[in-house]
Amino acid sequence: MQNIAVFPGSFDPVTRGHESVIRRALPLFDKVVVAIGENSGKQEYFPVEQRLEWLRQTFIHDPKVEIRTYSGLTVHFCKQAGARFILRGLRTSADFEFERGIGQMNRDIEPGIETVFLLCDPEYTALSSSIVREIHRHGGEIRAFLPKAVKI
Ligand code: ADP
The one-letter amino acid code at 50 reads Q
Where are the alpha helices (H) located in the chain, listed in sequence order? 16-25, 48-58, 74-81, 93-109, 129-137
Residue 43 burial (C-beta neighbours within 10 Å; 0-12, 13-18, 19+) = exposed
Q: Which residues pair with 130 in a beta bridge?
A: none
68 alpha carbon to ligand 1 midpoint, in Å?
16
Integer CA distances (angstroms), 1 to 32, 37, 70, in order: 15, 26, 23
* DSSP label of 46: S
9 alpha carbon to ligand 1 midpoint, in Å?
6
Angle of helix 74-81 versus helix 93-109 axis, rounded to 10: 60
Closest C-alpha to ligand 1, atom 14: 88
Question: d(Cα 6, Cα 114) in Å, to the nearest integer?
Answer: 11
pLDDT > 90? residue 42:
no
As annotated, the active-site residues are: 18, 42, 91, 129
The pTM for the full model equals 0.96
Question: d(Cα 55, Cα 11) in Å, to the nearest integer?
Answer: 8
pLDDT digits (tens, 9 = 90+) for 54-112: 999 999 999 999 999 999 999 999 999 999 999 999 999 999 999 999 999 999 999 99
The one-letter amino acid code at 46 reads F
Measured from the Cα of 88, ligand 1's closest atom is 14
pLDDT > 70? residue 40:
no
Mutate which of 44, 54, 67, 129 for ligand 1? The one with the most ligand atoms within 8 Å of its CB, which is 129
Longest CA–CA span in the chain (Å) reads: 48
Measured from the Cα of 126, ligand 1's closest atom is 23
Residue 96 burial (C-beta neighbours within 10 Å; 0-12, 13-18, 19+) = middle
Torsion of CA 116, 2, 51, 14, to 10 degrees: 40
Q: What is the pLDDT of residue 152?
A: 86
More confident residue, 42 or 16: 16
Asked if 22 and 111 count as a contact pair (C-beta separation under 8 A), the reply is: no
Mean pLDDT of 118-142: 98
Mean pLDDT rounded to a whole number for the chain? 97
Measured from the Cα of 10, ligand 1's closest atom is 6
Q: What is the pLDDT of residue 148?
A: 98
